[in-house]
Amino acid sequence: MTRRGRPRKDPARARVVKNGAHFTPAEDGRLRDRARSLGITVAELLREAALGRPLPRRHQPDPIASDQWVELGRLAANLNQLQRAINRGQTEGVPVALVEELRRLLHDVRQALVGKAGAA
């Protein structure tokens, strides 16, 4: 019978030794915030720092840009609803070209928020 599942790690590379450390709640919060900002676990953060290896550099979006991204997502949803209503003939007097222009502008603003200004 063949073994199923994940292949076993090389015993020399398996992380089986556990070292503990005690932190104040404030220190723990700072560790968790730092790990979250880098996109890694606290264990990875501690391991890399303790072994003198470089920490990964991950760019997190500015919280203001994140809030703007969410708001723009809501606007995009509203535009989609308006477009659907136009296509069903449920609205009158709303030019389709205007909706398409708004969609294009919304796309441009979202691209600028993620640093891709001028991207199509």
Backbone angle region of 5, left / alpha / beta, with phi > 0 → left and psi within -120 to 50 → alpha = left
Span 63-90, pLDDT tens digits: 667 778 788 888 888 888 888 888 888 8
pLDDT at 120: 44
HEC assignment per residue over 76-100 = HHHHHHHHHHHHCCCCCCCCHHHHH
pTM score: 0.42
pLDDT in tens, 36-57: 888 889 999 999 999 999 887 7
- Per-residue tokens: 1: 């019978």
